[in-house]
Amino acid sequence: MLRMYRYLASFLLLTLLVPATAEATITNVLPVGVIVSPLPFDAVRSSDHSNTPTGDIGAQNPANVEAKLESAAWLGVPLTFVGGGACGASPGFANNCSAFENDTDGKGGTSNLTANVFGIHFGDNFIAVLYADAVSGFSISGLSNGVSNIYAFNTNTVSQVPLPAALPLFFAALSLLGLGGWLQRRRATA
């Protein structure tokens, strides 16, 4: 029994002394100085540790980014890829996006796609911006690194199916039939 306690104490001591590997932290705010347009947006998630093997986004391809953004840690909603990819240098567009670096806006990028989710890779950083409705003319500026990719997605929200107009009438008719049957039974017993 004493040996088991020694093993347990050694394990606890090692877990305290051995540093943990750096994991990405997903925050719910834009980094300081970053500006997105159009405003307002519904939600934003950003990470400063996204592309490394232990990062939270990993490979910069549409399927991987879509799968990560659909996770609960990021947006937690089903998405459909609209377009995007490696951006062209401003003023040119490649994959429906353009990256820029200038004195007034710093580093940033624009997308000419219409969507309600935009995912931006810049350096080892990633930002996802969610809008309630589809927007066009998305842009981001004030980034610490140059934009490499902008991906656009739409959410696959399931809208409520309205009841057909006849359904309430059907239930009203059923209620009247039930009331009629109850009245007939009452008269028959009286």
Residue 86 confidence (pLDDT) above 50: yes
Q: What is the DSSP track for the chain? A: -HHHHHHHHHHHHHHHHSPPPP---EESSPPTT-EEESS--SEEEEES--SSTTSSS-S-SHHHHHHHHHSTTTT-S-EEEEEEEEPEETTS-BTTEEEEEETTTEEEEEE---EEEEEEEETTEEEEEEEEEEESS-EEEEESS-EEEEEEEEE-PPPPPPPPTHHHHHHHHHHHHHHHHHHHHHHHH-
CA distances from 43 to 2, 12, 152, 178 (A): 53, 39, 15, 51
Tell whether omega for the bond before 40 is within 30 degrees of 0, i.e. cis. yes
- Selected residue with higher pLDDT from 54 and 21: 54
Query: pLDDT tens digits, residue range 172-181?
Result: 665 666 656 6
Res 181: pLDDT: 67
Q: Are 111 and 152 a contacting pair, CB within 8 Å?
A: yes
Res 3: pLDDT: 47
Confidence of residue 141 (pLDDT cuts 50, 70, 90): very high
Residue 167 confidence (pLDDT) above 60: no
Confidence of residue 59 (pLDDT cuts 50, 70, 90): confident
